[in-house]
Amino acid sequence: MLLRTYIPQAPLSDFVDFFWFFQGYSPPHSKELALPDGSIELVINLREDKIKLFDREYKDPLRTYGRSVICGPHSEYFIIDTSTETTVLGVHFKPGGIYPFFKMPVNELHNIHVSLDALWGSRAHDLREMLLLSKTVEDKFQILEESLIKLASRPLIRHPAVNFALIEFMSLPHNRPR
């Protein structure tokens, strides 16, 4: 299995923790539990034309999304169908980092997944096609970085409220280095 990560350059690095890529992932199980951590991920399946997730309450046992999906901040676990995700590329956003890229409020993404096609339209399809045509993982990261900058619907400047909240959070006693 190949696993690679990449930290984008500024100004994108103020919004994105890292990009990740894995290829050849074939676990012995077909379902994987994703524990909540409050983060937001953009996931692009480069092998199959769909992403499958299981409803945690099994009311609708399998939900199929397009080729790419936004995983909103979760406070509950969800289940991933790993049988179709052998080559996947993703973006792990920093707190408040999704703000410039989507016009919808983050609270509307709480505990849900949304097809990237529904949010970006044909631009999501175009991005995936460029990624599929690229030869190396480094090229994929470069394309993703350039595309995110172009897709920003707001200036790549962190909202002052997010800066304030992060500074305050980091100054709490349990967050200080020991």
Q: What DSSP string runs through 5-74?
A: EEPPPTTGGGTEEEEEEEES---S-SEEEE---S--EEEEESSSS-EEEE-TTSSS--EEE-SEEEE---
CA 110 centroid distance within chain: 14
Phi first, then psi: give them for residue 63, nearest 5 degrees: -110, 130
Q: What is the mean pLDDT of the chain?
A: 88
pLDDT band of residue 175 (cuts 50, 70, 90) is low
125: CB partners within 8 A, 6+ apart: 67, 117
Which of the two residues, 40 and 155, has the higher pLDDT score? Answer: 40
| The pLDDT of residue 61 is above 70 | no
| The pLDDT of residue 90 is above 90 | yes
| The pLDDT of residue 158 is above 60 | yes
Strand order in the sheet with 41-45: 2-6, 16-23, 87-93, 41-45, 68-71, 113-115
Pair 79, 56: CB distance under 8 Å: yes
According to the per-residue pLDDT averaged within each range, which of 21-30, 99-108, 129-138, 165-174 is highest?
A: 129-138
Per-residue confidence (pLDDT) for residue 93, from 0 to 100:
95
161: CB partners within 8 A, 6+ apart: none
Short-list 72, 37, 32, CA closest to 56? 32
Pair 47, 85: CB distance under 8 Å: yes
CA 65 centroid distance within chain: 14
Total structural domains within the chain: 1
pLDDT digits (tens, 9 = 90+) for 7-34: 999 999 999 999 999 998 778 888 888 9
pLDDT band of residue 178 (cuts 50, 70, 90) is low
d(CA 119, CA 97): 16
Domain enclosing residue 152, as ranges: 2-175
Report which residue type is found at 108.
E
Mean pLDDT of 107-117: 91
